[in-house]
């Protein structure tokens, strides 16, 4: 293994090892490489990375992408199948990492073999695109891909390349990672403590925990949205969506704009729909991904059947963008879902921040929010006008939602206030300001 590493480094341009120049401000960062397991679809990491890309490119930087799956700019991307957390080999490795306390030597060798292959491809990525700075998107945060975290950490240690580690979800925030046989890897890589890394978190609780658990300081950059742009309006294309989904004109459409995973609390949205039977409420779940397995999906659909609620999950005609299905039907986007929604449900028990919350503000839709911890700490003090629930739906919750559905004028006033607050506190202008602060740590103005 050591000989393999030496050969890789020997073939790499020597000038690359002068990257520490950036720490003293003697060189200019121009080309930024984003690294993640996936840049595809509507997951929170991909969505937030796209916003960072947009702002950084507006600031004059050229952005490139390394991932296991991607539908972004092929000419600026390197796609390596083993970098995707859903790759069969990686899924097998991950399965054996958790739920037990000891691993054998053979398994360690398997992990290290993938680590080496990925590190070699990362070196190629940096060389081919002449990368000046890396931004790791959750790849050094949540242990969904152990070999990739190892590869990145070793590469950073070997080169001193400037890195912004953008952390969305830490391992200690997920119970399923608590029992494992890779504690050495978690301590080393998720996240790593290296001098050339500047750490960015998305909420105040993460900053506190990162400092307490790892002794690492960080900058908070919350999730943001481009509130300076006008949201799309209902057009002929979007108008046919309700009919295609089987929603009648007199039926109320509740939108759950999330993936189908347990912490999203979708059962609360189902209960709300059930208790709004007088409104003939139906629930649309926009995101089809089941990254944490199918058990919760099955449970959700069974619960909906018990509650007599029509839950709409149609991956065949709902996706990331508008288009056509193979049989010629319309394919609708997430934005079309928001345009057609009468009310947005967001009853999560935990969120790193809340992309769907910002999207609902932008579309000026009334929204129900469970008071998850980050909402209480970082969002609620800003006095947004939303329907609040405390871990379960009450009669008052239902009555408040019903009143907003019955009084569009009140819902509109609420939405306008929330849009203004969103623009003030979570805009692209804030993102640019915070990114400039982080880049100043590398001597960049």
What pTM did the predictor assign? 0.85
pLDDT of residue 270: 97
Give me the CATH topology for the region 2-224+428-440: Rossmann fold (3.40.50)
pLDDT of residue 19: 47
Residues lower than pLDDT 70 in the chain: 1-27, 289-293, 445
pLDDT of residue 28: 84
pLDDT of residue 417: 96
pLDDT of residue 6: 42
Domain boundaries, the chain: 2-224+428-440, 236-425
pLDDT of residue 445: 58
Q: What is the pLDDT of residues 151-190, one digit of tens each?
A: 999 999 999 999 999 999 999 988 889 999 999 999 999 9
**3-state DSSP of the chain:** CHHHHHHHHHCCCHHHHHHHHHHHCCCCCCEEEEECCEECCCCHHHHHHHHHHHHHHHCCCEEEEEECEECCCHHHEEECHHHCCCCHHHHHHHHHHECCCCCCHHHHHHHHHHHHHHHHHHHHHHHHHCCCEEEEECCCCCCCCHHHHHHHHHHHHHHCCCEEEEECCCHHHCHHHCCECCHHHHHHHCCCCCCCEEEEECCHHHHHHHHHHHCCCCEECCCCCCCCCCCCCCCHHHHCHHHHCCCCCCCCEEEECCCCCHHHCHHHHHHHHHHCHHHCCEEEECCCCCCCCCHHHHHHHHHHHHHCCCEECCCCCECCCCEECCCCCEEECHHHHHHHCCEEEECCCCCCCCHHHHHHHHCCCCEEEECCHHHHHHHHHHCCCCEEECCCCCHHHHHHHHHHHHCHHHHHHHHHHHHHHHHHHCCHHHHHHHHHHHHHCCCCC
Task: Report how far residue 43's alpha carbon sits from residue 292's, in angstroms, rounded to the nearest whole number.
Answer: 13
pLDDT of residue 352: 85
Angle (deg, nearest 10), helices 105-129 and 2-10: 0
Q: What is the pLDDT of residues 14-57, one digit of tens each?
A: 344 444 444 444 468 999 999 999 998 777 888 899 999 999 99
Range 236-425 classified under CATH 3.30.930.10: no
Matching fold, domains 2-224+428-440 and 236-425: yes
pLDDT of residue 348: 95
């Amino acid at each position: 293994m050591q000989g393999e590493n030496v050969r890789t480094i020997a073939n790499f341009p020597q000038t690359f090892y002068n990257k520490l120049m950036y720490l003293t401000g003697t060189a200019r960062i121009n080309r930024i490489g984003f690294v993640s397991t996936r840049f595809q679809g509507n997951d929170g990491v991909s969505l937030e990375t796209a916003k960072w890309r947009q702002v950084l490119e507006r600031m004059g930087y050229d952005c490139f992408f390394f991932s296991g799956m991607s539908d972004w700019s092929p000419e600026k991307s390197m796609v390596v199948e083993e970098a995707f957390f859903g790759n069969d080999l990686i899924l097998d490795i991950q399965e054996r990492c958790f739920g037990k306390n000891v691993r054998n030597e053979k398994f360690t060798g398997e992990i290290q073999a993938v680590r080496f292959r990925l590190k070699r491809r990362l070196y190629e990525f940096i060389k081919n695109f002449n990368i000046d700075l890396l931004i790791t998107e959750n790849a050094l945060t949540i242990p969904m891909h152990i070999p990739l975290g190892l590869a990145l950490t070793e590469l950073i240690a070997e080169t001193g390349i400037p890195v912004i580690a953008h952390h969305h979800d830490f391992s200690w925030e997920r119970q399923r990672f608590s029992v494992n046989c890779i504690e050495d890897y978690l301590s080393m890589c998720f996240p790593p403590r290296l001098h050339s890394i500047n750490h960015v978190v998305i909420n105040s609780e993460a900053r506190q925990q990162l400092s307490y658990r790892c002794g690492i300081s960080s900058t908070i950059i919350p999730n943001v949205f481009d509130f300076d742009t006008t949201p799309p309006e209902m057009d002929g294309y979007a108008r046919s969506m309700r009919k295609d989904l089987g929603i009648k004109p007199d039926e109320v459409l509740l939108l759950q704009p999330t993936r189908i995973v347990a912490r999203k609390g979708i059962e609360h949205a189902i209960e709300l729909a059930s208790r709004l039977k007088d409104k003939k409420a139906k629930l649309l779940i926009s995101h089809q991904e089941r990254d944490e397995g199918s058990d919760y999906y099955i449970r959700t659909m069974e619960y909906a059947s018990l509650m007599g609620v029509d839950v709409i999950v149609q991956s065949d005609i709902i996706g990331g963008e508008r288009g056509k299905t193979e049989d010629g039907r319309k394919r609708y986007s997430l934005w079309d879902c928001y345009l057609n929604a009468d009310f947005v449900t967001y009853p999560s028990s935990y969120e790193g921040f809340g992309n769907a919350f910002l999207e609902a503000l932008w579309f000026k839709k009334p929204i129900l929010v469970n008071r998850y911890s980050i909402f209480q700490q970082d969002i609620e003090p800003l006095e947004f006008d939303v329907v609040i629930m405390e871990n379960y739906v009450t009669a008052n919750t239902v009555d408040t939602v019903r009143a907003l559905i019955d009084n569009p004028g009140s819902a509109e006033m609420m939405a306008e206030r929330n849009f203004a607050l969103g623009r003030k506190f979570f805009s692209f202008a804030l993102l640019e300001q915070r990114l400039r602060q982080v880049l100043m740590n590398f001597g960049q103005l």
